[in-house]
Amino acid sequence: MNIPKNIKTYCKKCKKHTDHKLKQFKPAAARAVSKGQRKHLFKTKQGYGGKSKFPKQPKKQNKKPAFLAECVVCHQICYFIIPKRMKKMEFAEKK
């Protein structure tokens, strides 16, 4: 799906709709010693495993694209997500 590079959306700092530049969001690597990770390791590595309570759910095939939107006026960066699953995401080129 083609997505425009500039998008008009609400800016919290300017308190009005302004132009935003979109940049693809890349999550940082997970920390190895975070509380959640330690809890997960403790739960999965202790004992003999046992039986899982619920059957495994099938994974979704596609992901919802996530962006970082930067306000052109005040350069405030916010997380921006398109709530639609898509196979392929491309920034539309200007004609």
Could you tell me how far CA 71 lies from the centroid of its own chain?
Answer: 18
**Which residues face 40 on adjacent strands?**
none
Q: Binding to Zn ion by residue 72, rule CB under 5 A? A: no
> Is position 11 an interface residue for Zn ion (rule: CB under 5 A)?
yes
Q: Which of 1, 14, 41, 77 binds Zn ion (CB under 5 A)?
A: 14
Establish if 69 lies at the interface with Zn ion (CB under 5 A). Answer: no
Sheet hosting strand 6-11, strand order edge to edge: 6-11, 16-24, 66-71, 77-81
**Residue 67: exposed, middle, or buried by beta-carbon count in 10 A (0-12, 13-18, 19+)?**
buried
Q: Which stretch binds Zn ion (CB under 5 A): 33-41, 47-55, 60-68, 70-78?
A: 70-78
CB of 70 to Zn ion, least distance (A): 9
Question: Interface residues with Zn ion (CB under 5 A)?
Answer: 11, 13-14, 71, 73-74, 76
